[in-house]
Amino acid sequence: MPVPIAAIGQLYQPKLWAGLQSLVMVVRVRHLWNKTTREMQFYLTSLNSDAQIIGRAIRQHWGIENQAHWTLDSTFAEDACRIRSLHSPQNFALLRRFALNALNCEQTYKRSLRQKIKRTAMDNNYMIQVLSCFIDNTLNSSDSLSQA
């Protein structure tokens, strides 16, 4: 349910909210067996107050987020990880995403991510191939950005 910012009234420190167009409240209801849960989430957006467009944007965001999370959890057992101190959780999350992107870039070995991980661990030449593919793609994308 999007509400235009104009309908809310004066914001505190309005210069900090430049470009803000709508406040959105999403109520999610889940029915699992004999239990019903309700969850409310609020979003601030620069999109106009159009429920169709905002709803599509929110679903797209969470679809990507859920898919990446599922892949990281099923392949790298991210949820079972017990790393908790200092910057270690963020560092390992970054390394997992780096590894996932590198393995997805390598297209010559047509196997599952889990099989690619095992091969990378056992075959130094394949590990170099995975890393070089990722580095080459990164350099090519940065070159195309600088030319634009």
Q: 36-72 burial by CB neighbour count: b if 16+ within 10 A, else e? A: eeeeeeeeebeeebeeeebeeeeeeeeeeeeeeeebb
What is the average per-residue pLDDT within 123-131?
92
Q: For position 21, what pLDDT does the model report?
A: 87
Residue 36 has pLDDT above 90, yes or no: yes
Q: For position 115, what pLDDT does the model report?
A: 92
Q: For position 138, what pLDDT does the model report?
A: 66
What is the average per-residue pLDDT within 61-78?
78
- DSSP lists the bridge partners of residue 38 as 29
Q: For position 141, what pLDDT does the model report?
A: 63
The type of residue at 39 is E
Q: From 18, 31, 26, select the one nearest 58 (Cα to Cα).
A: 26
Residue 64 has pLDDT above 80, yes or no: no
Residue 96 has pLDDT above 80, yes or no: yes
What is the average per-residue pLDDT within 31-54?
89
Q: For position 144, what pLDDT does the model report?
A: 53
Q: Evaluate whether 55 touches 28 at the Cβ level (below 8 Å).
A: no
Band (147; pLDDT cuts 50, 70, 90)? low
What is the average per-residue pLDDT within 92-118?
88
